[in-house]
Structure formats: C-alpha cells, structure tokens
Chain A
Amino acid sequence: MAKAKPALEIKGRLLSITRIRVLEDDAGLIEAQVANLARQLGPAAQGLPVLIEAEQALDLGPLLRALRGHGIRPLAAIEGALDGPAAQAGLPLIPADVLSEAAAKPGPAPAPAAPAAPTPAPAPAPARRTRIVTEPVRSGQQIYAEGSDLILLAAVSAGAEVIADGCVHVYARLAGRAIAGARGDESARVFCKRMEAELLAVAGVYAVAEQIQGELRGKPAQALIAHGKLMIDKLDW
C-alpha cells in the first residue's frame, strides 16, 4: 500500500535572519534610523524578516510601527527582557539559545544610535553563499567561485583549475591547481584531503609542485599565508 504523502517537510533550523537590537528607547531616533535603513536597503527592505532584542523592557510600539511602516516584517522578539512587551505587542518569542550560533558573529543589524552619522551601509547582504561542486573537476576545466568559498567533493584532476575569492576546500584528491583569495584576501586558505597539487596559491603567492615538500604529497594539507609567505602544512585529519 502506498504511503500517504507527507503534508509537511521539516527543513533545517539554522536561519540567517537580521536582528535588531534596541539600544535607545527613543521613538524619534528609532523612526529616523529605520527610515535610513529602509532607504539604504531599497526594495530589499520590503518583507525583510527581522528579530528584535533588547537588554531592558521597553515599549515595542514605536519600533514595530516604524518597521512595518517601511515594509520590514518583525517576526519575533528574543526571550528575556522583552517577554512582557512582546506579549503586549502580540509578537511571538524565540529562545535566545536557538540563535546563539548566529549571535556569535556580528550580525548585520543596523548600527546603534547616532542617526546623524552616515553609518557604512549595514546592508544585510545576501549571506555569502558557498559554491559546492559534487562532480569531479576534469583536466582542462576551470571553476571560479566569485566572492565566496569553493567546496569540491570529488577529485580535482591534473590540468584542472579551481579558484575562489574565499577558501578552497577539496574533500578528495587535489591534483590540479588551487587558488584561494583570488582577489587578494590573505586570510583565505586552501584545504585538501589528498595533496598532489600542481600549484597552490593564496592571494597571489604561489608554490608549484616542485616547491612543495615531498612528505606532504598524498596527505591532507592546507596552504595559507603566514608572515607574507605561503605556508603549506599538514592537516591532522
């Protein structure tokens, strides 16, 4: 007998959502800054989901009005000081620890107060997407991950080239060329599970196979910039 079609699909729970932290309980400042944010975002502001957090209890009315007035959609408040005000405003609550991972990074939330200062656009840029390639990269093929990391799940053959503005991860044999930090990001690295590379480069500093230590051949390895030089190190896998 055929199984009934499921009505719901449960997807991943880690979302990247803009959080707005209220620092000053001043309706005028809030309205001005939200207006400023909406102008910077342009059409991206329409329907933009946000979460609200604050250290102290405060009246959420002015903020919610300002956000909704500009088409921004407040989804919920984060549990804690806002328990009471959120209940009053009819806003759902989200436990803080659900988002702890996202909170570790400085969120793209608008900069605090000082409405006069033209804050460097805190545009919640579409999260930098990593390019994932599951097929082998064959000799003569070139893959470039513009503005992002590149993850390769199958071998990179001799004569192939994999390039990223961010890091390059090869969870297989790397026998071709791998270039990380193609636009000069010196913090980028190349990681591979089996290093047999023809060339490794980070931010324009490169080493060809001949310059790469023999004992790393066939081993998990990484390439990074340290003190302006390209270092190739083993990775303990």
Chain B
Amino acid sequence: MTKIVVVTSGKGGVGKTTTSASFATGLAMRGKKTVVIDFDVGLRNLDLIMGCERRVVFDFVNVIHGEANLRQALIRDKNHENLHVLAASQTRDKDALTQDGVEKVLKDLAAEGFDYIVCDSPAGIERGAHLAMYFADEALVVTNPEVSSVRDSDRVLGLLASKTRKVEAGEGRVKEHLVLTRYNPARVAKGEMLSVDDVKEILAIPLLGVIPESAGVLTSSNAGTPVILDKTSDAGQAYDDVVARFLGEERPQRFLTAKKEGLLSKLFGG
C-alpha cells in the first residue's frame, strides 16, 4: 500500500522543503521505496536541496500534461537507489496543476510500487498547496516556534480536516504530525520563542519531532545534501528521530533544552 504524505505549513520559509528532503531520504535509507514531489511550481527548490538540479530534464508539469512519461521524469538519487525526485517546473505557475492530473500521477506512482510519496507543498493555501494535500493519507505540519507560523499551521490543519479527498469521501481523516523546526531552546528559555508545550497546546496534534535551529541546515542546503545525511549535526539527528518515530519506533524527544554553555563560550559570548 502506497502512503501519500504531505509536508505542509501555510507559512513560507519554515522548513517544508528541508523537511521533505530529509524525511524522504530517511525513509529511503530505511529501505522504503520513496518519491518526493515538488508541488511548488514556479518556485522550484527541492531539486537544489536534493542536489539533483543539474539532472532535471522533465518535470511534474510535463508529466501532468502528457509531454513526458513518469519514468522519464523521475530522477533517481545518486546515493539511494530507492529514492526518486519529481521536480517542479520553474517556468510555469500553479495553474499548470490540475486535480485530475495530480491524481493520475499519484496513481501511476502507486502502480510503480512506491511505498511512500512525499508531497512537498508550496506555502500558502491556494491551488498548489491545496493539491499537495488533497490526496494525502498523512501530513507533516511544519511549524516554527513563532505566533504567525503557528496560526498559519492552525489554518492548514483546518483545511486538512475538511478539504481533502479522504475527508470528502468519508474515509476518515488525514493523520497529522507536528514537526517543530528552527527550535532554539536558549531563546525559548528567555521567552523570545514559543515553547514546544505552547505550540502543542495551540495546535493540539501529536508531536513527531523537534528540529533544533542549526547551522548544519544551511550548509547542507547549499551543498545539495539533505541534512539527515549529516550525522554530526543535531538537526540531522533530529530528522533521523522523526523518520524513526514516523515508522513506529519509540524514541525520546531530544534537543528540547539548551546546551550547557562552557566557560569559554560564556567569556567570548558564544
């Protein structure tokens, strides 16, 4: 059974694409045949984060419009042979996506035997974001510990509970997971950021994981390698936890408290 997972948030810049890339890579590393689709038509980024931007020939929109077949458009990851990327088109806009077209591509991917289809949603709640979530079985709601991000996620949760195929067909609901990104325990302690508990209380969905704010994320993005592959970075380890928990493993939450500052870093301002 193919599972469709949407990575969504409402707000832009919170880490959807970073999460999609690491999550899909993590699933593939655990032996799941996975494809990650960039729904951000016109502002394509996923290929950069996945490091396959120089191998894109055909894209998602080409497949929808019948200009290429699915196999031509799927880009296989260099390091994980059961990981594939379906890039967005940079020259089109979101109107190039149609519901029937998206549905057909997802069905064809299921027929190809994929275990997981990860849909990287664009920001906003318009067409692109709507179609990214519409066929989902589960959702990773990516949120920053900040009030406007939390409110936008709340809005998206409302849409997941009403504007999805599963709900409209009366087949239950989309399973929601909270991924709290860019978490900085030191700033939380100072009261400058919302805490995990604040966000959990407002959104009232189960917490899948907390990703600490980390320099490793930017470095990995620029290098075109999903941060989950960087075992030394705390963000990479946190994404590894996220994937493990998603697949049913029990792992305690980490990165919720600030690291003890050493004497040196105190002296030099850290």
Contacts and interface: CB of A to CB of B under 8 A. Distances in A.
Interface stretch (A80-88, A118-126, A150-158, A200-208): A150-158
B155 A159 contact: yes
Contact of B158 (A138, A173, A175): A138
Contacts of A159: 151, 154-155
Interface string B155-190: 101110110000000000000000000000000000
Interface in A122-159: 135-141, 154-155, 157-159
Contact of B154 (A135, A154, A158): A158
B204 interface: yes
A136 B155 contact: no
Contacts of A141: 158, 162
A118 to B, nearest CB: 47
Interface residues of A, number: 15
Given A158-B151, A159-B151, A140 B158 contact: yes
A188 to B, nearest CB: 25
Given A138-B155, A139-B155, A157 B161 contact: no
A60 to B, nearest CB: 49
Contacts of B151: 139, 157-159
Q: Which of B155, B158, B201 has the most CB of A within 10 A?
A: B158
B223 interface: no
Nearest to A155: B204
A33 B161 CA distance: 51
Contacts of A138: 154-155, 157-158, 161
Contacts of A140: 154-155, 158-159
Nearest to B10: A139
A154 B158 contact: no
Nearest to B152: A139
A139 B158 contact: yes
B218 interface: no
Nearest to B156: A138
A139 B154 CA distance: 6
Contacts of B152: 139
B57 interface: no
Nearest to A159: B151
Contacts of A137: 158
A201 to B, nearest CB: 21
B144 to A, nearest CB: 16
Nearest to A172: B204
Residue of A138, A159, A160 with most chain B CB atoms under a 10 A cut-off: A138
A143 to B, nearest CB: 11
A158 B201 CA distance: 12
B155 A135 contact: no
B202 interface: yes
A155 B158 CA distance: 12
A157 B158 CA distance: 10
B172 to A, nearest CB: 13
Contacts of B159: 140
Contacts of A175: 202
Nearest to B154: A139
Contacts of A136: 157, 204
Interface string B198-230: 000110100000000000000000000000000
Contacts of B202: 155, 157, 175
11 contacts: A136-B157, A138-B154, A138-B161, A139-B151, A140-B154, A155-B202, A155-B204, A157-B151, A157-B154, A158-B154, A160-B158
Interface of A: 135-141, 154-155, 157-160, 173, 175
Given A138-B154, A155-B204, 16 more contacts: A135-B161, A136-B157, A138-B158, A138-B161, A139-B152, A139-B155, A139-B158, A140-B154, A140-B155, A140-B159, A141-B158, A141-B162, A157-B151, A157-B202, A158-B151, A159-B151
Interface of B: 151-152, 154-155, 157-159, 161-162, 201-202, 204
